[in-house]
C-alpha cells in the first residue's frame, strides 16, 4: 500500500510541475488551434449557404413554380422567384421553399426596403407606401429566410410586397405565415410556397401624397403550400381578405384548384396530371399538424350562422356579460387541483384556447357522467353567462343541463 502510494505520488508530482511550468504555452497553443478551426469553419459557411440556396433554386424551378403566362418575366433572387405585375405594381406571384434552415435561423429583421433593380419596368418605391396607411406586406416572409443574409435581404425588395391593411398584415396574415413555419419546424420537412394578391380589374389605387406609381390595393391574398418531396405529396391553400379575419388560420383553407379558378394561375404544371389533380383537390388542415406543435389538436370552429341563435367560439367574445349558447368541439380537457375544477377547451387546445367552459368540483355531483372524459372530442353547445378571464371568454357550468350534444340539437 505504501509503495503504491509513493509510486503514484512520484509520477503525479513531476506531471503537475511540468503542467504548471508550461501552462501559459499550452493555453496559447490550444487557443491557436481553436482559432484556426474557427477560421476554417467560417471559410466553409458561405460556400455551404450558397450550395443550399442553389439547391433550393434548382428544386423550386423544377417543380415549384406556377406556369408562366404571356408577358410574364421570371425574376430570380437568392431565396425566391417571382413575376412582377407592372399594371398593379405588385408581385403577380412569388414562390419559395420554406426549408428546415428556418428552424435555427436567427438573423435580425432588416426593414430597409429597396427597389428591385431586376424589374426592368421599375418596381414600386418607398414614396408609394409612405403615409399611405398601408403596410408593406411581405409575400415571401422575411422570417423564412433568417438563415441567409442574402436571401433575407431580397425579401425586403419592393417586388416582394403589396399593400396590406395593418390589422391584416400584423394579424391573420402573420398567423398564416407562422402556421406554415410550424409545419416545417415540427414536421422537420420543407414545403413549397406560392403567395400573391388576387388581381382582378378595377382594384382601387393608393393615393397618398408623393406617390410615384399607381399601386393597386388587393382585396384578397392567397398562399399555396405543398409538400412535393417523396411519394406522399400533398397540398393546401388559403385565401384571406385584406382586413380583419376573425377566424383561426385553418378556417381559411381551400383546395388549390379553387385558387387557380380565382387567379387564372396553374400552380404545379411540372407534376404529372394525376398527382397534380389529386393534391390540388385536397383541403385537409389536419394533415399538416405534427406532434409538438402547440396548436396540434385544434379544429375549425363551427361555421356561422348556427341554428336557433347559437354562436361559435369565435363569436363568444361578442357576448361577454350576457347569457348565450356557445358551440364547438371539445378538443382538450384538464382537471386542476389548484382551481379544483374541470376545464373544457373548445376548438383550440390549452394554452391557446379561444373559449372554455369550467365545471367546478362542487358542481360535479350535478353530472351523471364525468365531463372530463365523456365530452372529449364531442361537439357540444354550452349555455351560461359569458365572462372574460385573461381576455379569454368562458362559461361556468353548474349542471349537465348547461351542456348539450351538437348531434342531438341538429338532428
State the pTM of this model: 0.89
Q: Which domains does the chain have, with CATH numbers?
A: 53-288 (3.40.570.10), 307-410 (2.40.50.140)
Residue 15 pLDDT class (50, 70, 90 cuts) = very low
Distance linking the first and last C-alpha atoms of the chain: 90
Does pLDDT of 143 surpass 90?
yes
State phi, psi for 287 to the nearest 5 degrees: -70, -10
**Arithmetic mean of pLDDT, 158-178:** 98
pLDDT value for 17: 53
pLDDT value for 411: 72
State phi, psi for 303 to the nearest 5 degrees: -75, 125
Does pLDDT of 395 surpass 90?
yes
Q: What is the distance, to the nearest Å, from the Cα of residue 249 to the centroid of all Cα atoms in its chain?
A: 9
Between CA 368 and CA 354 the distance in angstroms is 27
For residue 329, give the nearest of 306, 371, 300, 309 by alpha carbon.
300
What's the whole-number average pLDDT of the chain?
Answer: 93
Between CA 314 and CA 110 the distance in angstroms is 35
pLDDT digits (tens, 9 = 90+) for 300-320: 999 999 988 899 999 999 999
16-25, 52-61, 189-198, 305-314: segment of lowest average pLDDT: 16-25
pLDDT value for 38: 86
pLDDT value for 308: 84
Strand ranges inside 26-151, DSSP E: 74-76, 80-85, 90-98, 135-138
Amino acid at each position: 500500500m505504501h509503495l503504491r502510494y509513493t509510486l503514484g505520488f512520484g509520477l503525479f508530482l513531476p506531471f503537475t510541475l511540468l503542467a504548471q511550468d508550461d501552462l501559459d504555452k499550452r493555453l496559447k497553443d490550444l487557443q491557436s488551434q481553436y482559432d484556426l478551426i474557427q477560421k476554417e469553419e467560417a471559410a466553409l459557411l458561405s460556400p455551404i449557404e450558397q450550395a443550399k440556396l442553389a439547391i433550393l433554386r434548382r428544386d423550386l424551378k423544377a417543380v415549384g413554380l406556377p406556369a408562366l403566362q404571356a408577358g410574364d418575366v421570371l425574376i430570380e433572387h437568392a431565396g425566391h422567384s417571382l413575376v412582377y405585375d407592372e399594371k398593379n405594381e405588385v408581385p403577380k406571384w412569388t414562390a419559395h421553399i420554406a426549408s428546415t434552415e428556418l428552424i435555427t435561423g436567427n438573423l435580425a429583421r432588416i426593414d430597409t426596403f429597396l427597389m428591385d433593380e431586376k424589374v426592368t419596368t421599375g418596381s414600386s418605391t418607398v414614396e408609394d407606401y409612405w403615409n399611405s396607411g398601408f403596410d408593406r406586406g411581405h409575400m415571401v416572409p422575411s422570417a423564412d429566410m433568417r438563415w441567409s443574409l442574402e436571401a433575407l435581404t431580397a425579401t425586403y425588395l419592393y417586388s416582394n410586397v403589396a399593400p396590406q391593411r395593418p390589422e391584416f398584415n400584423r394579424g391573420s396574415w402573420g398567423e398564416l405565415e407562422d402556421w406554415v413555419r410550424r409545419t416545417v419546424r415540427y414536421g422537420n420537412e420543407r414545403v413549397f410556397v406560392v403567395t400573391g394578391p388576387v388581381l382582378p380589374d378595377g382594384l382601387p389605387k393608393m393615393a397618398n401624397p408623393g406617390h410615384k406609381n399607381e399601386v393597386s390595393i388587393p382585396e384578397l391574398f392567397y398562399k399555396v403550400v405543398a409538400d412535393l418531396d417523396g411519394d406522399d405529396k400533398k397540398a393546401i391553400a388559403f385565401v384571406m381578405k385584406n382586413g380583419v379575419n376573425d377566424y383561426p388560420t385553418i378556417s381559411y383553407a381551400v383546395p388549390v384548384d379553387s385558387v387557380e379558378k380565382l387567379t387564372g394561375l396553374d400552380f404545379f404544371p411540372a407534376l404529372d396530371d394525376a398527382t397534380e389533380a389529386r393534391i390540388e383537390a385536397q383541403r385537409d388542415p389536419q394533415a399538416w399538424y405534427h406532434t409538438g406543435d402547440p396548436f396540434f389538436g385544434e379544429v375549425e370552429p363551427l361555421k356561422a350562422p348556427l341554428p336557433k341563435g347559437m354562436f361559435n367560439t369565435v363569436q363568444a367574445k361578442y357576448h361577454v356579460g350576457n347569457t348565450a349558447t356557445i358551440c364547438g368541439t371539445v378538443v382538450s380537457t384538464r382537471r386542476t387541483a389548484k382551481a379544483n375544477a374541470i376545464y373544457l377547451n373548445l376548438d383550440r387546445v390549452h394554452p391557446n384556447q379561444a373559449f372554455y367552459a369550467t365545471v367546478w368540483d362542487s358542481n360535479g355531483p350535478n353530472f351523471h357522467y364525468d365531463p372530463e372524459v365523456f365530452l372529449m372530442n364531442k361537439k357540444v353547445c354550452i349555455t351560461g353567462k359569458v365572462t372574460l378571464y385573461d381576455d379569454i371568454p368562458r362559461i361556468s357550468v353548474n349542471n349537465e343541463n348547461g351542456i348539450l350534444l351538437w348531434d342531438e340539437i341538429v338532428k
